[in-house]
């Protein structure tokens, strides 16, 4: 898409030069200026003013990260605000997202970026949701880009690392997240304890986890849950979890970054 945009830019410049040249020549020849400048080469200015900027905008929206961000570290971007830019690409609106970005050294910083989304999917992007972003450690002023090029496994690994560094999960839970077995769990019951821990509500959860052989076991414990995750742990909801087969006393909920 970016290649097409550059081709359109070159064509637009060439045609615009011909347009200006033909207009000057015709005017010098004695024609009325208003008619001299109204000719078919006017398409060059239209290309430069409208088509080329739109093509570059589309290429940025649908492509991967720009060259400066390729291979850059992956952080966790938590959406704090959403604003429509007024631009739509393939009938999908473009949003400007305000983010709080948590990075691998434990620091956080505010940033903004743009994302084209399908709003027919409820809750695609809203405050509290997380997205994988790439950032430049030595140039934070350059902002961030959505890491569209990462695999689900890479996004989950980035989230686990950020949570560990920030003290949001224990080393034991990190080990479960990196070495554990994926499984499905059903929330059997959820009861608020009234405790708030690090800005998270502590809930008493009873979940039933299904092993690979379709047998099941139950884990009952109190755990702090981020507000954005609370709707997902209502009774009857199915969770993606990970646990260690040799220690079924704990588990982690896979809150994978949305990419």
Task: Enumerate residues 6+ apart whose C-beta is below 8 A from 120.
Answer: none
Given its phi and psi angles, is residue 169 left (phi above 0), alpha (psi -120 to 50 degrees) or beta? beta
> Which letter does DSSP use for residue 141 in this model?
G
**Strand runs (DSSP E) across 123-179, as ranges?**
130-135, 144-146
SS3 198: coil
Residue 172 confidence (pLDDT) above 70: yes
Angle between helices 52-62 and 2-28 (to 10 degrees): 170
**More confident call, 6 vs 177:** 177
Residue 95 confidence (pLDDT) above 90: no
Please state the rounded mean pLDDT for residues 134-143. 79
pLDDT band at 137 (very low <50, low <70, confident <90, very high): confident
Residue 2 confidence (pLDDT) above 90: no
**More confident call, 158 vs 5:** 158
Percentage of the residues of the chain whose pLDDT score is greater than 70:
69
pLDDT for residue 26: 52
> Nearest Cα to 24, choosing from 48, 47, 46, 41?
41
Residue 186 confidence (pLDDT) above 80: yes
Decide: 116 and 137 in contact? Cβ < 8 Å: no
Rounded to whole angstroms, how far apart are CA atoms 212 and 218? 15
Phi first, then psi: give them for residue 126, nearest 5 degrees: -155, 160
Residue 12 confidence (pLDDT) above 70: no
Rounded to whole angstroms, how far apart are CA atoms 38 and 103? 55
Phi first, then psi: give them for residue 45, nearest 5 degrees: -65, -35
Enter the tokens of residue 102.
């948590």
Decide: 44 and 19 in contact? Cβ < 8 Å: yes
**pLDDT digits 0-9 by tens, 35-91:** 444 445 445 455 545 444 554 455 554 444 567 788 889 999 989 998 888 877 777
Residue 224 confidence (pLDDT) above 60: yes
**Secondary structure (H, E, C), 46-91:** HHHHHHHHHHHHHHHHHCCCCHHHCCCCEEEEEEEEEEEEEEEECC
- Taking the whole predicted model, whether its pTM rises above 0.75 is answered as no
**More confident call, 31 vs 98:** 98
pLDDT band at 177 (very low <50, low <70, confident <90, very high): confident
């Amino acid at each position: 898409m970016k290649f097409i945009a550059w081709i359109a830019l070159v064509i637009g410049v060439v045609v615009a030069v011909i347009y200006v040249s033909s207009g000057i020549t015709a005017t010098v020849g004695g024609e009325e200026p208003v008619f001299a400048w109204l000719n078919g080469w006017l398409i060059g200015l239209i290309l430069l003013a409208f088509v080329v900027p739109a093509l570059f905008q589309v290429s940025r929206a649908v492509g991967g990260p720009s060259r400066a961000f390729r291979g850059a570290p992956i952080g966790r971007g938590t959406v704090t605000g959403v604003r429509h830019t007024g631009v739509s690409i393939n009938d999908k609106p473009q949003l400007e997202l305000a983010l709080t970005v948590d990075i691998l050294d434990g620091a956080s910083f505010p940033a903004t970026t743009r994302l084209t989304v399908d709003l027919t999917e409820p809750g695609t992007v809203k405050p509290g949701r997380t997205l994988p972003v790439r950032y430049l450690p030595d140039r934070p002023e350059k902002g961030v880009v959505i890491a569209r090029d990462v695999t689900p496994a890479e996004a989950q690994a980035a989230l686990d690392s950020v949570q560990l560094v920030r003290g949001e999960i224990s080393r034991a839970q990190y080990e479960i997240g990196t070495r554990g077995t994926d499984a499905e769990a059903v929330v059997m019951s959820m009861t608020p304890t009234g405790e708030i821990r690090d800005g998270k509500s502590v809930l008493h959860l009873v979940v039933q986890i299904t092993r690979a052989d379709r047998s099941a076991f139950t884990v009952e414990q109190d755990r702090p849950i981020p507000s954005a995750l609370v709707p997902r742990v209502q009774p009857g909801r199915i969770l993606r979890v990970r646990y260690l087969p040799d220690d079924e006393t704990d588990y982690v909920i896979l809150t994978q970054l949305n990419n």
